[in-house]
Each structure stands twice: as C-alpha cells, then as structure tokens.
C-alpha cells in the first residue's frame, strides 16, 4: 500500500547548464500530471507521463526540469574562451602596430574580453538529450515511489490502530445493548400497569406494537455490518495494489452504520460510544484520503 505523497530528484548536466529533475506527488482523487520545464522540451510530457503512470495510478504529480546556466569563469576559462581571447589580442596587437602604439595587455583587459563576449547558452534540442531525460526521470521516479511506499506503511500502521479502536468500541456497544430492548419493553409494560390504563398486554395489536418497538431498538444488524466493514477494511490494508478508493467507500459505510446506531441510542453510554466512534472515523477518513 502506498501513500500519494512523495518526492524524488536527479541531477542533470548539459553543455552550458547544470540542472535538476524533481518529481513531487500530492493527493488527488484521480491522476493528474504536470510538466514544468524549458519550452523547447514540451513534447517530453507524453513520454514522461507514460513512465510515471507505470508506477503511480493516483495523485497530482508534477515533473519540474530546472536548468541553471553555468557561470563564465575568468579564472578557469574553457578552450573556446582561450581561443577567442587569443584572437582578440592578436587583433589588438595588429592595430597597435599599425598605429605605432605600445602593445601591453593587462590582466584587467583579459578579464574584460572574457566577460564581454559571454552569452547565455542555448538549450539543446529534445531529440539529442531525451534518452538522458528518461534515465534521470526514472531515477527521480524510483525515489518518489519509495517515499510513497514508506509513508503508506506508516499510514497503514496508524489505520490498523484506529480500526482496532473501532472494534473495541463496537464490542462495548454490543455489551451495553444486550437485553436492552427487553428491559425497555418490560419497563414500559410496568409503567402502563402502574398508570391504571386499561390495556390488555395479551392483545395481538398491543403485542405487535411492542414487537415493532423492540425491532427499532435492536442494533444487532448494525453491529454485524460494522464488524463486516472492519474486516474488509483490515483486509484492504494488506493489499499491495491501489486500495484508497475502496477504503474510502468502506469508511463511508462505517459512518452510515454508526449514524444509525446513534439514532437508536437508548442510553447515554451508547450515545457517548457512538460519538467517540464517529470522531475516530473522521480521523480515518482523513488518513485514507492520502492513500493511492
């Protein structure tokens, strides 16, 4: 099981540039891919998306290609720079000789020649570096997937603990509702007798009303369904495949069943247990939204 949150990066080196490829992933109900990079490489988006979809099915994933021009250094000039400086000095020497002027180049002059002719390097065409971009994207992708997996393990551990808390809560609910409907029926009958009302408790219509009341007070079906949902939830946490959407549905159903329990609450104890459970379900819902 994986989270939808992750990050990966890889350094790239091109003629005239240093750069980095960054992959970042955040929560998204479906899959969304964004590419941010030099406009000359916009057609890399299709290939990059194919690579990423092979390892991620959900999330908002952004691939950023950041390039920084290499600084021109006067202390360590390149071969081309040396040739250019030499050519300009030769030209300057010829001018000085033709004008009968002294020729004495200084360090300051050489530095000015080095920097005056500098220009921003040109981004290489995509077809010449696409293989390199694919390799570096795969490196960043492996890091991002690894991070998503580690965070998924942490989320699974937390969700197991919370599911266990819900199991304990429903056990307490069951314990505190055993025979409760019968007790309330007997208490109601006693009050009717004490009130002096002339009601025949053996009458079929009266018995039917008591039966309907008992059924409305019975929460055994809700308890059974909640336990079934919790079993499915725990099984889902063991899955190696994307499971987030299924778990979202199970959590939604858990919320509905506890809402029904709350509407049938016959004692303050049950009401408090339901409230605690609904708080826990909301925390589970927030965590499940992070799962792929």
- 32 near 40, Cβ under 8 Å? no
| Pairing verdict, β 31-36 and 59-69 | parallel
Residue 140 and residue 186 share a domain: no
Domain-embedded: residue 228: yes
Residue 180 and residue 56 share a domain: no
User: CA geometry: angle at 169 spanning 163 and 175, to 5°?
Assistant: 140
- Per-residue confidence (pLDDT) for residue 212, from 0 to 100: 60
Residue 52 and residue 97 share a domain: no
Q: Going residue by residue through the chain, which has 292 residues, state the pLDDT in tens, using 9 for 90 and above.
A: 899 999 999 999 888 888 999 999 999 989 999 999 999 899 999 999 999 999 999 999 999 999 988 765 445 555 666 777 788 788 888 888 888 888 888 877 777 766 665 556 788 899 999 999 999 999 999 999 999 999 999 999 999 999 999 999 999 998 888 766 666 666 666 766 677 666 666 666 656 666 666 666 678 889 999 999 999 999 999 988 899 999 999 999 999 999 988 887 667 888 899 999 999 999 999 999 999 9
Collapse the DSSP code of 3 into the 3-class scheme (helix H, G, I; strand E, B; otherwise coil) and give the result: strand
Residue 169 and residue 109 share a domain: no
Domain-embedded: residue 121: no
- Per-residue confidence (pLDDT) for residue 89, from 0 to 100: 81
Give every CB contact of residue 181 below 8 A, 6+ residues apart in sequence: 213, 214, 217, 218
- Per-residue confidence (pLDDT) for residue 97, from 0 to 100: 84
Q: Which uninterrupted H or E stretch holds 132? A: helix 126-177
Domain-embedded: residue 237: yes
Give how many domains the chain has, as a whole number.
3
**Could you give the angle at which helices 204-217 and 180-195 cross, rounded to 10 degrees?**
140
Residue 135 and residue 233 share a domain: no
Residue 135 and residue 59 share a domain: yes
- Per-residue confidence (pLDDT) for residue 253, from 0 to 100: 96
- Per-residue confidence (pLDDT) for residue 219, from 0 to 100: 83
Residue 241 and residue 139 share a domain: no
Residue 261 and residue 153 share a domain: yes
Domain-embedded: residue 98: yes
- 139 near 195, Cβ under 8 Å? no
Tokens of 78: 């390149």
Domain-embedded: residue 33: yes
Task: Quote the CA–CA distance of 107 and 282 in Å, as a whole number.
Answer: 71
With CA atoms as reference, report the closest residue to 144 among 66, 53, 47: 53
Domain of 106? 79-116
Q: Which uninterrupted H or E stretch holds 109? A: helix 107-116
The CATH number of residue 26's host domain is: 3.30.230.10
Domain-embedded: residue 261: yes
Domain-embedded: residue 1: no
Domain-embedded: residue 238: yes
- Per-residue confidence (pLDDT) for residue 74, from 0 to 100: 46
Residue 249 and residue 187 share a domain: yes
Where among 116, 139, 170 does a domain terminate?
116
Strand runs labelled E in the chain: 6-14, 17-26, 31-36, 59-69
Residue 261 and residue 157 share a domain: yes
Residue 277 and residue 218 share a domain: yes
Residue 134 and residue 35 share a domain: yes
């Amino acid at each position: 099981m994986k989270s939808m949150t992750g990050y990966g990066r890889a350094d790239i080196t091109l003629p005239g540039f240093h750069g980095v490829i960054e992959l970042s992933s955040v929560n998204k109900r479906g899959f969304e891919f964004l590419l941010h990079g030099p406009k000359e490489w916009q057609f890399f988006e299709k290939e990059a998306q194919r690579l990423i979809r092979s390892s991620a099915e959900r999330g908002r994933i952004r691939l950023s290609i950041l390039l920084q021009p290499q600084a021109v250094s006067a202390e360590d000039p390149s071969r081309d720079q040396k040739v250019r400086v030499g050519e300009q000095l030769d030209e300057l020497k010829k001018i000085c000789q033709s004008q009968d002027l002294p020729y004495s180049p200084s360090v300051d002059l050489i530095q000015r020649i080095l920097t005056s002719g500098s220009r921003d390097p040109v981004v290489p065409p995509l077809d010449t570096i696409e293989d390199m971009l694919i390799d570096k994207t795969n490196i960043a992708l492996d890091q991002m997937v690894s991070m998503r997996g580690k965070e998924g393990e942490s989320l699974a551990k937390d969700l197991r603990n919370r599911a266990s808390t819900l199991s304990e809560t429903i056990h307490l609910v069951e314990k505190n509702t055993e025979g409760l409907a019968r007790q309330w029926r007997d208490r109601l009958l006693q009050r009717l007798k004490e009130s002096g009302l002339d009601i025949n408790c053996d009458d079929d219509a009266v018995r039917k009303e008591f039966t309907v009341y008992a059924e409305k007070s019975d929460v055994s079906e809700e308890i059974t369904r909640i336990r079934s949902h919790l079993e499915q939830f725990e099984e889902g946490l063991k899955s190696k495949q994307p499971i987030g959407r299924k778990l979202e549905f199970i959590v939604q159903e858990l919320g509905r069943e506890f809402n029904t329990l709350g509407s049938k609450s016959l004692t303050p104890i049950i009401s408090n247990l339901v409230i605690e459970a609904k708080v826990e379900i909301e925390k589970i819902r927030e965590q499940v939204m992070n799962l792929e």
